[in-house]
Copies of this chain bind each other. A is one copy, B any other.
């Protein structure tokens, strides 16, 4: 019950952020969207900054790739493929979250500690790529460039799928896009 209301608040916040950006977020709109009274928000959060930071931490936590342990020992191209497919699905599913996260990090509401977190996924990817280079499977190119390719492509493609009514994420599009990515970075 209480939990349910919390989730409604978070969902409302995400949804509104997608529509009007963090710049346009009003506590009253959040309440309305979540079908509660404005005052109720303040039973759950000290203030707006608190609410946004709580949401930020929740999203961070959820995106921690539980997947990593499962795939640790597969060949690199398979691992990359699995991460690619998973990330793409998540990005598409959670497009609103991503908009929020991106905006949040340069909004005036970020607490200092929020800024430190992040980038576990990126770090793992980096390690993976580095290992691939050692094993001669992946081009010996600055990891930062490789990472930019993988993550940039991923984000952009997912945004495209979400925004374009005619596109849908299918096994085929996952495979096709991964093939491109792999061809770019493989030795």
Contacts and interface: CB of A to CB of B under 8 A. Distances in A.
Contacts of A157: 144-145, 148-149, 152
Interface stretch (A4-12, A38-46, A78-86, A104-112): A104-112
A177 interface: yes
Interface of A: 17-25, 99, 102-103, 106-109, 139, 141-142, 144-149, 151-157, 160, 164, 167, 173, 176-177, 180-181, 183-185
A158 to B, nearest CB: 8
B149 A21 contact: no
A20 B108 contact: yes
A48 to B, nearest CB: 11
A19 to B, nearest CB: 7
Contacts of A17: 106
A141 B25 CA distance: 39
Contacts of A164: 144
Contacts of A183: 183-184
Nearest to A145: B177
Nearest to A164: B144
Contact of A177 (B107, B109, B149): B149
